[in-house]
A and B are shown apart, each in its own frame.
Chain A
Amino acid sequence: MKLNLLPWRRAPLLLLTERPQVGLVMAGAALMIGLASASAPLFLSSAENASLAQQLNNGCETGSLTVASTDNYAGLTSGPDQFADDMFGINGTTRVTGVPSLPHLSAPTRMLFAPHVMVSAAGSGAGTFITLASKPGDLAHVDVLSRAQGVNGIWLADTTANALHVAAGGTIALQETGSSAPMKLQVAGIFRDLETQPAQPFWCDAEQYIVPPPSANPPPVFPFGLLTQDEMRTAAQSLPLNVQDTDVWTLRPGGLTLPQAHTLAKALDKVVLELPSTLNAQRGTLEAKYASAHPTFQPDDRIDLQATERAETEVDLPVDRVSAVGRALPSTITPIAIAGVLVALGLVFVAGGFWVDRRRREVDVLIARGTSPLAIGVKAALEACVPFLLGGLAGVVLAYALVRAVGPSSLLAGRSFADVGLVTLISLIAGLIFLVASATRGCQRRESPPVPRAVSKKRVVTFVGSAVVVAVVAIVVAARLSHRTHLSGSGPQVAHVDPVVIVLPMLAFIVGAAVVQQILVRLIRRSALRGARLSVPSWLAWRRIGGNAKASATLVAVLVPALAISVFSAFVNSSVQRTLHDSSRMIVGADDVVNLQGSVAVPASLTKRATLVLRIDHPTFGNELVSVVGVDPTTFGSGAFWDAGIAGQSFPALINRLHDQGPGKPLLGVLSGGGVASGSQLKAVAAANPVTTSVTLVGGAAHLPGEQGGYEILYVDLAALERVDPVGTYQFWISGSPGTAADALAAAHITTTFNLTADSVVDNSYLQPVSYTFAYLDAVIAVIGAVALGGVLLYLDARSRPRRLSYVLARRMGLTRTAHFLSIFIELSALVAAGAVVALGFCAMAVALLRSRFTVQASLPPSAVLSWPFALTIADLTALVVLVAVSATAVQLGSDRVRAAEVLREAN
């Protein structure tokens, strides 16, 4: 092989000048390769960054650095002195200067809190508790109900103001519990109590003072009383109070990638580790200064003042969780991407044959000159280099643009580009090797056309051998993947789609398509001469199909994996999402659960899809912490989620066993899990003292809707539970769209304090990688559609010469244009229909074999819910019909433009 000879030397530029359409096909195939290979690393990076942004913007889980110390005014034995002032000053200064300037970290915000301060209306003995708070900009983040113009003083929550019967402009008295004289302040305004408001990111760092943390015995929280920081210091010194002095650095997640977040988390960990020693050193210096200057210096003051230091960061948690998401995704995304590349390589293989066909004159000349098919195959690769490079680059750019445009996030980490370069380069080289192989094979066939019988045996042996190799690969892959659990990895755990569900069918479809191609070639050849009773268009179509059985069977073989992967992916997508959504509804209890401020009647517009419940989290039942839900048996089924497969019994029958037995009688209950014996005591927090009541279990199931946090859930009758009067949260459990439910609640003027939807559980939880996998599958389905289109176009082009000739001749024999158009339509329709039928059959088999794996967490009911993607199937079939119609029309128009003389001369 002499690559310096003219045909090889000029090859890299030939496709640009000689046969542009061949170059376009090559570029198209390379575009598919580039798109499929580049999309995976870009998508993974995008998904990680989207997950990170979601985690960091998710309610109050904002990653931040918090450094707090308690300015212990109340701990001083002789009131604030200069040492205390200096100590508090050093604390504040060191907290700020000890934190380096880090990207994506805001400037510090200082917050002051003094919890558990007694407040009473001036001149009145009755009082209540509040938490004094001060944060710059706080008044802009409360719902102001009223204000007294020109009055400086305290801002009270409406709950406090109502309890004290004070209004804006009134006067209140602050007093530290059990000590000192009160301090009088004017009420500057009233705002809505934050506890009754939806969570706001601004108040995230103060969440512990607003909402009681979930625990068996949560500490009490009190409404805020807002002061300026100067007023707060004055009050703290005057009463005196212990003031939690906190500096907070908030994370700005915009533009933050996961690698950057890792770096930031490490830097913040270092700050958390080193800052206390820096503070100690500063205090030591101050102490030495005072000890030398003031012989009467009391060390007790120092100890009290520095004992409550704390520094913490919350960045680690979301970063670790996102890292877990990142670890879970490749097991499904990578096989999907590889399948996409394989399908694109199939297109390259077809393009290689296309090249040989289009360059047949030169190929014949070179073969006649004794050039080896391999050398000509290499020439094909050399010619394809430029289109391949351009097409591959276009694919990468397209992948980049698509990921940037449709997400999951437009943010991509720098390292993903290196991965893109490497993966795309490897894929393109593989593509060129495929091209060489395909073109070499095509040249071999031109050099010595196969003798049907002798070669078919060899081909069967080769084919069976290849199928065995692929089958072995499939078995090995299945064996390796089957060891994976649905939840994997150390640290935060996330769910992912079972890779077996993705990998095995794709391998099977590709191998199956090859088998179908071989079988079809034989079937078509055997029946090619039949069909004498067909109409003229059908007979022509059948003759064309039979005239080149191999091209016909190849088109079917190209369509089979494309359609099968498309429909099966959509099926997996649809089924797992449905299963996932039902699982989420099991966790939430319904499609939508809203917390209420008290017992509220279900508004008329929601009576058919909502039910009122009273939920108590973490009371003791027997020796277990459980969740208790008081339900109305007559309406519970209309709001709560239920699947008959959960417990193998009728939900209404189970719930209808609950009813109120009357005062003094045990509650009747239905318990999930069954970890507590019937007749055990239920002990719950009540307004005054804990209440205890006996519960008789009348039914149970392994799982029941509303189970959260691993606690068993106990259903009891709502009226019976209300009589016990425990502290709990009234909720509406609503089925159907949360959006319309919110509108209905707003229209009914019902105030809600918290909202949990099944969708949010999928989007913001450990189930996130699953939804990302589906998004990627959707994208791959679109790419595969393009491959199918390419297959049809290549088929049409490959048949253009004989079709033109036959058209010219048939027209002279009286064939009408309509009949010719119909013949093309029937020809394409038959092949596409055959591909669709086989593909749907493959899908059905794959579903039958793998249906039990269509769940992301086997322990979470319900089990796999099958959902056939009717919409996508119909859309696919419609697209194929349109494709066939448009292609047939284009071919007919092209045939009409043919010059008969040229065609006949060429055919001569």
Chain B
Amino acid sequence: MPTVSAQRTGGVWVEGISRAYVVGDERVPAVSDVTAHFAGGALTVISGPSGSGKSTLLRMLGILDRPDSGGMWLHGQSIAALSIRKRRSIRRLRVGYVFQQPAFNLLSYARADEHVRLGAQLRGRAPNESDDALLDLIGLTSRRTYRPAQLSGGEQQRLALAFAAAGDPTVLVADEPTASLDSVAGATVIEALHLLAEKGLTVIASSHDPALVETAHAVVRLHDGRRVDG
């Protein structure tokens, strides 16, 4: 494990980040003093039992939440203390996020190809051939004119990955992407994650799906909000 403070230039670095929630009058820690590196061009899985802090860490990595303390770097840029406007900008341009439920990631009124084009456009990039290539990559070329309701769960989740990956972000964050799928559909999603990682994205997924954990390039294990894999 490299020294974090010395190397923050590739992928995503987190150093000693913590996050707690206030419930009633109590302060409940969700993530405590976690340090990790999520390499670019690799699939890193955050694993751990329910309540271990996976989703909280993932939301912070997706820049949907911010740590109470600690540092975060995205390709060398410190992002932990940015204003909400700048965090929003980074989210728009450089981060793709996939929610656990396939249907929650998609617009019910948009076709598959429209999703990919929209994903690129939201990042300020005009639609081009790479959008079609992305659909090819995740195996949805034959479903390009289908709306979400016409797709299976696995297809929906793959389309969600394509939607999140469109427009060339640098980081793709997926929250338990196979949790709602059967093993066959889950396998197609895992394959899609690897393909996206091979494109150079920093792919981070939370999961306790053994199939996904076993194939990951790296695994970060959490328990009670703390990293336990050393």
Interface residues of A, Cβ cutoff 8 Å to B:
2, 5-7, 10, 14, 17-18, 361-362, 364-365, 367-372, 447-448, 451-453, 529
- A365–B91 touching, CB < 8 Å: no
Contacts of A447 in B (CB 8 A): 64, 84, 88
- B88–A370 touching, CB < 8 Å: yes
Taken together as a complex, chains A and B put the C-alpha atoms of A372 and B122 apart, in Å, by: 11
Within 8 A of A (CB), among B124-151: none
Q: Tell whether B228 is near chain A: CB-to-CB under 8 Å.
A: no
Per-residue CB contact flags for chain B residues 87-130 toward chain A (1 = under 8 Å, else 0) read 01111110101010001111111100010011101100000000
Within 8 A of A (CB), among B39-96: 62, 64-65, 84, 88-93, 95
Q: Tell whether B22 is near chain A: CB-to-CB under 8 Å.
A: yes
Contacts of A364 in B (CB 8 A): 99, 104
Contacts of B230 in A (CB 8 A): none
A6-B121, A447-B64 given; 8 more Cβ-contact pairs under 8 Å: A5-B121, A6-B107, A6-B114, A6-B117, A18-B109, A361-B103, A362-B107, A447-B88
Q: Pick 14 A–B contacts, CB within 8 A, sort by A.
A: A5-B118, A6-B121, A18-B109, A365-B104, A365-B105, A365-B106, A365-B107, A368-B64, A368-B91, A368-B97, A370-B88, A370-B91, A370-B122, A529-B24
- B93–A370 touching, CB < 8 Å: yes
* CB proximity of A436 to chain B, nearest CB, Å: 18
Contacts of B117 in A (CB 8 A): 6
Known: A6-B107, A364-B104, A448-B84. A370 touches B118 (CB 8 A): no
Taken together as a complex, chains A and B put the C-alpha atoms of A340 and B203 apart, in Å, by: 54
Choice from B90, B106, B109 contacting A10 with Cβ under 8 Å? B109
Q: Which residue of B lies closest to A17 (CB)?
A: B109
Contacts of A369 in B (CB 8 A): 91-92, 97, 119, 122
Contacts of B103 in A (CB 8 A): 361
Taken together as a complex, chains A and B put the C-alpha atoms of A776 and B22 apart, in Å, by: 50
- B89–A370 touching, CB < 8 Å: yes
Q: Which residue of B lies closest to A373 (CB)?
A: B88
Q: Which residue of B lies closest to A368 (CB)?
A: B97
Q: Which residue of B lies closest to A451 (CB)?
A: B22
* CB proximity of A524 to chain B, nearest CB, Å: 13
* CB proximity of A704 to chain B, nearest CB, Å: 70
A-B contact count (CB 8 A): 60
Contacts of B107 in A (CB 8 A): 6-7, 362, 365
- B64–A367 touching, CB < 8 Å: yes
- B62–A368 touching, CB < 8 Å: yes
Main secondary structure on chain B at its contact with chain A? helix
Taken together as a complex, chains A and B put the C-alpha atoms of A70 and B99 apart, in Å, by: 99
Choice from A7, A367, A453 contacting B118 with Cβ under 8 Å? A7
B interface, size bucket: 20 to 34
Q: Which residue of B lies closest to A529 (CB)?
A: B24
Per-residue CB contact flags for chain B residues 14-56 toward chain A (1 = under 8 Å, else 0) read 0000000010100000000000000000000000000000000
- A370–B121 touching, CB < 8 Å: no
Taken together as a complex, chains A and B put the C-alpha atoms of A14 and B64 apart, in Å, by: 27
Contacts of B105 in A (CB 8 A): 365
Contacts of B108 in A (CB 8 A): 18, 362
* CB proximity of A19 to chain B, nearest CB, Å: 10
Q: Which residue of A lies closest to B64 (CB)?
A: A368
- B122–A452 touching, CB < 8 Å: no
Contacts of B121 in A (CB 8 A): 2, 5-6
Contacts of B119 in A (CB 8 A): 369
Q: Which residue of B lies closest to A4 (CB)?
A: B121
Known: A2-B121, A6-B110, A18-B109. A452 touches B22 (CB 8 A): yes
* CB proximity of B198 to chain A, nearest CB, Å: 23
Taken together as a complex, chains A and B put the C-alpha atoms of A2 and B125 apart, in Å, by: 12
- Among A6, A372, A447, A529, residue most surrounded by chain B Cβ atoms (within 10 Å): A6
* CB proximity of B174 to chain A, nearest CB, Å: 11
- B92–A371 touching, CB < 8 Å: yes
- A14–B109 touching, CB < 8 Å: yes
* CB proximity of A179 to chain B, nearest CB, Å: 101
Contacts of B122 in A (CB 8 A): 5, 369-371
Contacts of A14 in B (CB 8 A): 109
Contacts of B88 in A (CB 8 A): 370-372, 447
Taken together as a complex, chains A and B put the C-alpha atoms of A17 and B107 apart, in Å, by: 13
Q: Which residue of B lies closest to A7 (CB)?
A: B107
Taken together as a complex, chains A and B put the C-alpha atoms of A553 and B74 apart, in Å, by: 42
Q: Which residue of B lies closest to A370 (CB)?
A: B92
Contacts of A365 in B (CB 8 A): 99, 104-107
Taken together as a complex, chains A and B put the C-alpha atoms of A6 and B147 apart, in Å, by: 14
Q: Which residue of A lies closest to B90 (CB)?
A: A370
Q: Which residue of A lies closest to B167 (CB)?
A: A369
* CB proximity of B229 to chain A, nearest CB, Å: 27
* CB proximity of B137 to chain A, nearest CB, Å: 20
Cβ-closest 4 pairs across A and B: A370-B92, A370-B91, A368-B97, A369-B122
Contacts of A6 in B (CB 8 A): 107, 110, 114, 117-118, 121
Taken together as a complex, chains A and B put the C-alpha atoms of A5 and B65 apart, in Å, by: 26
Taken together as a complex, chains A and B put the C-alpha atoms of A2 and B123 apart, in Å, by: 11
Q: Which residue of A lies closest to B62 (CB)?
A: A368
Taken together as a complex, chains A and B put the C-alpha atoms of A14 and B108 apart, in Å, by: 10
Contacts of B109 in A (CB 8 A): 10, 14, 17-18
* CB proximity of B77 to chain A, nearest CB, Å: 15
Per-residue CB contact flags for chain B residues 150-174 toward chain A (1 = under 8 Å, else 0) read 0000000000000000000000000
* CB proximity of B110 to chain A, nearest CB, Å: 6
* CB proximity of B59 to chain A, nearest CB, Å: 10
Q: Which residue of B lies closest to A525 (CB)?
A: B24
Taken together as a complex, chains A and B put the C-alpha atoms of A371 and B97 apart, in Å, by: 13
* CB proximity of A355 to chain B, nearest CB, Å: 15
Q: Which residue of B lies closest to A367 (CB)?
A: B64
Contacts of A372 in B (CB 8 A): 88
- Among A2, A14, A365, A529, residue most surrounded by chain B Cβ atoms (within 10 Å): A365
Taken together as a complex, chains A and B put the C-alpha atoms of A453 and B105 apart, in Å, by: 32
Taken together as a complex, chains A and B put the C-alpha atoms of A673 and B213 apart, in Å, by: 101
Q: Which residue of B lies closest to A361 (CB)?
A: B104
Q: Which residue of A lies closest to B63 (CB)?
A: A370
Taken together as a complex, chains A and B put the C-alpha atoms of A191 and B121 apart, in Å, by: 94
* CB proximity of B145 to chain A, nearest CB, Å: 14
Q: Which residue of A lies closest to B122 (CB)?
A: A369
Contacts of A5 in B (CB 8 A): 118, 121-122
Taken together as a complex, chains A and B put the C-alpha atoms of A371 and B87 apart, in Å, by: 11
Q: Which residue of A lies closest to B111 (CB)?
A: A6
- Among B64, B92, B108, B109, residue most surrounded by chain A Cβ atoms (within 10 Å): B109
Taken together as a complex, chains A and B put the C-alpha atoms of A365 and B103 apart, in Å, by: 10
Q: Which residue of B lies closest to A10 (CB)?
A: B109
- Among B22, B65, B95, B104, residue most surrounded by chain A Cβ atoms (within 10 Å): B104
Taken together as a complex, chains A and B put the C-alpha atoms of A447 and B64 apart, in Å, by: 7
Taken together as a complex, chains A and B put the C-alpha atoms of A361 and B101 apart, in Å, by: 10
* CB proximity of B162 to chain A, nearest CB, Å: 13
Q: Which residue of B lies closest to A11 (CB)?
A: B109
Taken together as a complex, chains A and B put the C-alpha atoms of A367 and B91 apart, in Å, by: 9
* CB proximity of B87 to chain A, nearest CB, Å: 9
* CB proximity of B215 to chain A, nearest CB, Å: 25
Taken together as a complex, chains A and B put the C-alpha atoms of A448 and B91 apart, in Å, by: 13
Contacts of B22 in A (CB 8 A): 451-453
Contacts of B90 in A (CB 8 A): 370
Contacts of A451 in B (CB 8 A): 22
Taken together as a complex, chains A and B put the C-alpha atoms of A3 and B108 apart, in Å, by: 19
